[in-house]
A and B are shown apart, each in its own frame.
Chain A
Amino acid sequence: MIGAAFSVTLTSAQGGDETAFACLFRDVQPALLRYLHVITPEAEDVAGETWLQVVKGLPGFRGGEEAFRAWLFTIARHRAVDAGRSRSRRSDVPLAVTDEVTGQPMAPDAAELALEAISTRSVVALIRTLPRDHAEIIMLRVVAGLEAADVARIVGKTPGAVRVTAHRALRRLAELAERAGVTH
């Protein structure tokens, strides 16, 4: 999160300052990519489309850092849904991330996870094994740093349901992490 400097950074970016825009990009892009890796197999492409839409809409955006992140992740989710639709039109590939051979949800290799300890990649792989809505809520709450109300708007649930789902997802994640040996 950029914090107190966000307002100035945003205003500069809206005025055409490329360095300020790059600051916004570098701040959000890691969380955006990690979130997209959980919800779509085309994370890099969808991230690129998301930023193009952000560039177009940036001059008209009004709000603080929380609102900016919520806006950006909402765009990302819409683009991911669009990508999933066009993918299913092309080849009837299911929207959920699945193993191309077995059609089963991708499960990280336990040995690989243990070797990688708590690397970002291994944790993303572990979260991808959770039910889709659980994984998405974890990513939006913990990684994107969005409030429950913002996440609720994005995923179409109530804030209470988001909170309950996040708790369930975290408990399940802890269980999976212990089994896979991804512990500190």
Chain B
Amino acid sequence: MPGFPFPGRPGGEHDEPLLDMIIARRALPPDAPQPMHDLASMLAALAGPAEPGELAGEAAVRAAFSRAASPAGISSAGRRPGRRRRARRFRGPARSRARLAAAMVVAAAALGSVFAAYIDVLPGPIQQLAPPP
């Protein structure tokens, strides 16, 4: 590209003020190199108004906004206490399950001890405490 400074070519850093103008979307001086004008035009197109299809999501986003802004939306945002209630409701059974598991462990240990005493396999001093079969 004649007249346009690329990295590694002489004058590569002299274009920085022009590049900054392009970034800031300011008009380039008329005597700026044509490739700079081309680049500015290209990026201006990119920063232009919405094209067909780009606002297709508006209805869904507006619906989400009106849900959040409505009294119902506010109350639904305040449903966290409900979730807490649900969490509390689930905490009860979880505790019950833990208690049941502990009770089953104790019962299994007791039954095991009785069975061990019955077949006379407990250590001597403990076996003496057990009633004779």
Binding site for B on A (CB under 8 A): 13, 16, 18, 21-22, 25-26, 29-31, 33-34, 44, 47-48, 51-52, 55-56, 118-121, 123-124, 127, 138, 141-143, 145, 166-168, 170-175, 177-178, 182-184
Contacts and interface: CB of A to CB of B under 8 A. Distances in A.
B39 A22 contact: no
Chain A contact residues, majority secondary structure: helix
Interface of B: 1, 4-7, 12, 15-16, 19, 22-23, 25, 35-39, 41-43, 45-51, 54-58, 60-62, 64-66, 68-70
Given A21-B62, A174-B39, A178-B35, A29 B23 contact: no
Chain B contact residues, majority secondary structure: helix
A33 B47 CA distance: 11
Contact of B61 (A31, A55, A119, A121): A55
A29 B37 contact: no
A55 B61 CA distance: 8
B60 A143 contact: no
B35 A51 contact: no
Contacts of A145: 25, 47
A29 B61 CA distance: 11
B60 to A, nearest CB: 7
B22 A51 contact: no
B65 A21 contact: yes
B45 A25 contact: no
A172 B39 CA distance: 10
Contacts of B65: 13, 18, 21, 55
A33 B51 CA distance: 11
